[in-house]
Amino acid sequence: MLLTFIAIYLLASIGIGLWAAKRVHNTADYAVAGRNLALPVVIATTFATWFGSETVLGVSAKFVQGGFNAVVEDPVGSSICLILVGLFFAYKLYQKNLITIGDYYRQRYGRGVEMFCTVVIIISYLGWVAAQITALGLVFNLLTQGAISLPIGMVIGTVIVLTYTLFGGMWSVAMTDFVQMIVIVIGLLLIAVFAAEMAGGAGRVIEFASTEGKFQFFPAEVSLHAWLAFIAAGITLMFGSIPQQDVFQRVMSSKDAKTAVRGPILGGTFYFIIALVPMFIVTSALLIMPEVTTTLLADDPQKVLPTLVMEKMPLALQIAFFGALLSAIMSTASATLLAPSTSFVQNILRNIKPGMSDAATLKAMRISVVVFTAMVLAYAIIMQGTPIYELVSGAYQFPLVGAFIPLVAGLYWSRATTQGAVWSIVGGLTVWLAFIFVPYGEGVLNDLFPQQLAGLLAAALGMVAGSLLPQWIGNTKGHVHHYQGSAA
């Protein structure tokens, strides 16, 4: 019965996505939904894109192990990221009428920076999408009690998401996200209410979490190293997710500038609130089935929540849970398959093959979705065993050190130059890699100082020095003097 309902839901999701695909007539429709999305849809697609497998399975597992301090990256940092996008980036970028975030780098710094930043952004999606595909495989494996292996489950889930994303682009993503958001919220809230009753009431669950120190947010250890690690973890998604195509697509898909600003702010706030629900449910599991939960925490913490639902809850709530979980995974997977594919075509392929028609560009975007999906599926299968939370958090260090500073400086510092952007990118990535691989004592430099924080500081220094020192690299017009106005 459970499998039947899940199969019907999956077919309905595909149907909604293919129905929405009828609105796609050109690249603008495919990439940014023709800039026609109303505020409720923008909020829904922003929330649903970020509310993925790591939120339901990864964040809840991290919280029950280490409390709020362990989830500073997500959902704390990630929700603040969306709010920052709405407050400081959405309006400025929306006014430029762009298709991708890479278009901004081209307008501000030239084609070289555009292509390099686009590569940085595309690479960062490997980990995030792989996390969703891994979760899809895990869900099908659990639903069939092992009859479907993890790799086969990954393939099945990937094909389902690919089907509607391929044809409908942003229109399909937005419409399915809207429905999936409703399923996520209702499903998780129902499960939370039932779990609270089984645990002896919501008050008892909260009191237990407090007694166990789960509400400790700041580092318990009073040391510079602990605080630097805490700050580095917080800024990884908080800043590293800002120069990302999936966030930018929601801004540019809005029907007007006011919607572009409000959508991420409200979506980010809503995301943080609902992200607390899986944490509450897994904490309840410690009271409902303490022995089983303790065993799972030692083996695979990501299985605590689905095990609680499968073993302790009625069929209706099992359907609600797996519907919510699949909604969370598919909404994130579809958006993160589309974003890098459109960026590749718009900002790399069109530079290699200038003069492409709109029809040829649209076709290339669809082909790129298929190719990127195949690459990510292979990567996810290779990376089996890596925790979902780690796949996601690790993915955003790359754009943090390689693309964030040029974006901020370009929007808010008139003297930022193309040379400054190049020095920022090269310096940030070089220092980041050095702190990962250069030996230091028995470990590497990262043991001494967080790698992403070192890379970010180097990127900022590179931007300032490269912009203020004599110029050798030309801007978009070929000039090498200090940048004073907006580029054409």
pLDDT for residue 7: 86
pLDDT for residue 256: 94
Write the DSSP symbol of residue 51: S
**The pair of three-digit structure tokens given for residue 419, joined into one six-digit string:** 């040379």
Q: Beta 439-440 vs 443-444: how paired, if at all? A: antiparallel
- DSSP-assigned beta bridge partners for residue 439: 444
pLDDT for residue 487: 39
What is the pTM assigned to this prediction?
0.88
Contacts 24+ apart (CB under 8 A), 432-441: 432/397, 432/401, 432/402, 432/458
Euclidean distance between CA atoms 436 and 13, whole angstroms: 41
Euclidean distance between CA atoms 128 and 48, whole angstroms: 14
**The pair of three-digit structure tokens given for residue 156, joined into one six-digit string:** 């099945």
pLDDT for residue 480: 60
The torsion angles phi and psi of 43, rounded to 5 degrees, stand at -60, -45
Residue type, 365: M
Instruction: Mark residue 279 as left, alpha or beta (left: phi above 0; alpha: psi -120 to 50; beta: remaining).
Output: alpha
Euclidean distance between CA atoms 481 and 475, whole angstroms: 8
Low-confidence ranges of the chain (pLDDT < 70): 385-394, 474-488
Contact 282, 312 (CB under 8 A): no
